[in-house]
Structure 1
Amino acid sequence: MHPPRSPSPSPASSLVYSTDSGRMCPQCRQPMAQCACNTAAVVSVSADGIVRVSRETKGRAGKGVTLVKGLGLEGDALTTLAKALKATCGSGGTVKDGVVEVQGDHCDKVIAWLAAKGWKVKRAGC
């Protein structure tokens, strides 16, 4: 005989996906498109106003990506800038948590493009 089930789900077993709505936020249990929990975390503002460009391979099976951090943009402005950077490099990429990721080692191209657009840019890491 099985023990009786508790009527409400525990926080450890919260809903993460619904066939009706897709991915669900674990904090507010709303669909990710309607979640307001992490909107403040999306903005990546550097305290000193300098954009940092680096190359990273960690967690990507040896594939290198160029990371652009500290832009201080959010939403559509960040997506538009990422699209322009990807077109300049002739490569794919994405925006994750306010950081632009461009596939491949394009640090020099990204630094030159951002400097030409008036950003203060530094190479970080390598």
Structure 2
Amino acid sequence: MTRLFAGTAFDRPPTCEVCQKLEDECACPPVVKAPTWADPKTQTVKLFEEKRKGNRFVTIVRGLKRETTDFAALLTGLKSTCGAGGSIEEDDLIIQGQQLQRITDQLKTLGYRIAGGKSK
């Protein structure tokens, strides 16, 4: 009886790409790939203001993708600019308060394109 992966790359034990030793014997430092973020000039965001329960307003930044944008760094910068709290909900950045003008100015400074949004 033959093995399913006999003679293929899956039949051989995994080896290090750098030193060609077996992975168990390898002493090479792990390769950490830094994420590559898309240029803000190629991204378009939509801004919305939304009234939530308790007559509280939030400003929503929508249209960015997690794979191409450093959400944590962008959210930290926007919260600092506005002097307000905020969070990440799915693919949206939520900033507390009516901060539409401040966020628009900050995103334009960073190079993002702003598409027309509206208040809800």
TM-score range with shorter-chain normalisation? 0.5 to 0.7
1:97 is matched with 90
Structure 2 residue corresponding to 1:54, chosen from 43, 48, 54? 48
Q: Which has the higher relative contact order, 1 or 2, with Cα contacts under 8 A spaced 6 or more apart?
A: 2
After superposition, residues 15-26 of structure 1 pair within 5 angstroms as none
- How well do the aligned residues superpose, as a CA RMSD in angstroms? 2.2
| Identical counterparts, % of pairs | 26
Structure 1 residue corresponding to 2:77, chosen from 84, 88, 91? 84
Query: Does structure 2 retain, via aligned residues, the 8 Å contact 1:111–1:123?
Result: no
Relative to total residues, which structure has the larger helix share, 1 or 2?
1
TM-score by length of 1: 0.56
Structure 1 residues not aligned, in runs of 5+: 1-47
Question: One-letter code of the match for 1:65?
Answer: V
Structure 1 residue corresponding to 2:110, chosen from 95, 117, 126? 117
Q: State the number of aligned residues.
A: 78
Displacement after TM superposition at 1:80 (Å): 1.3
- Alpha-carbon distance in structure 2 between the residues aligned to 1:70 and 1:76: 10
TM-score by length of 2: 0.58
CA deviation map 1:54-106 (0-9, x unaligned) = 10014x32100000001223498101111110000000010000100000000
